Amino acid sequence: DVKVTQSSRYLVKRTGEKVFLECVQDMDHENMFWYRQDPGLGLRLIYFSYDVKMKEKGDIPEGYSVSREKKERFSLILESASTNQTSMYLCASRPGGGAVGYTFGSGTRLTVV
């Protein structure tokens, strides 16, 4: 019963390519998030969205952008991929309105060569 789906499990891209990471949730959640996970650094917030068509920068937004045209879909865009963006990318969602936990996707392991 997968509820947060990330379109790719593994991706290999070349430096300078434009990369799209897609995330879809079927729980009607208002809030969606993109994190990257690196060894020794934990989970770092890239961007988040509290509603359709709105977006906010997280702690490490440089080199990334996002799009949320529909409530269920939140896309992360690497405008020009660089090797330091090689990482595990995790999408998460949660209901709006209060202190509740995340539901995470399975992650996309991106390698930029």
Partner 1 sequence: GENVEQHPSTLSVQEGDSAVIKCTYSDSASNYFPWYKQELGKRPQLIIDIRSNVGEKKDQRIAVTLNKTAKHFSLHITETQPEDSAVYFCAASKNSGGYQKVTFGIGTKLQVIP
Closest distance between partner 1 and the C-beta of residue 83, in Å? 23
Between 81 and 107, CB nearer to partner 1? 107
- Decide if residue 46 touches partner 1 (CB under 8 A): no
Segment near partner 1 (CB under 8 A), from 10-18, 62-70, 77-85, 103-111?
103-111
What's the per-residue H, E or C state across the chain?
CCCEEECCCEEEECCCCCEEEEEEECCCCCEEEEEEEECCCEEEEEEEECCCCCCEECCCCCCEEEEEEECCEEEEEECCCCHHHCEEEEEEEECCCCCCCCEECCCEEEEEC
x-or-dash pattern for partner 1, window 53-82, by CB under 8 A? Answer: ------------------------------
Could you tell me how far CA 56 lies from the centroid of its own chain? 13
Of 40 and 84, CB closest to partner 1: 40
Main-chain phi, psi angles of 65, to 5 degrees: -140, 170
Per the document, the length of the chain is 113
Work out how close the CB of 23 gets to partner 1 at its nearest, in angstroms, rounded to a whole number: 12
Binding to partner 1, residues 15-44 (CB under 8 A): 31, 40-43
Q: Can you give the binding site for partner 1, defined by CB under 8 A?
A: 4, 31, 40-43, 45, 50, 90, 98-107
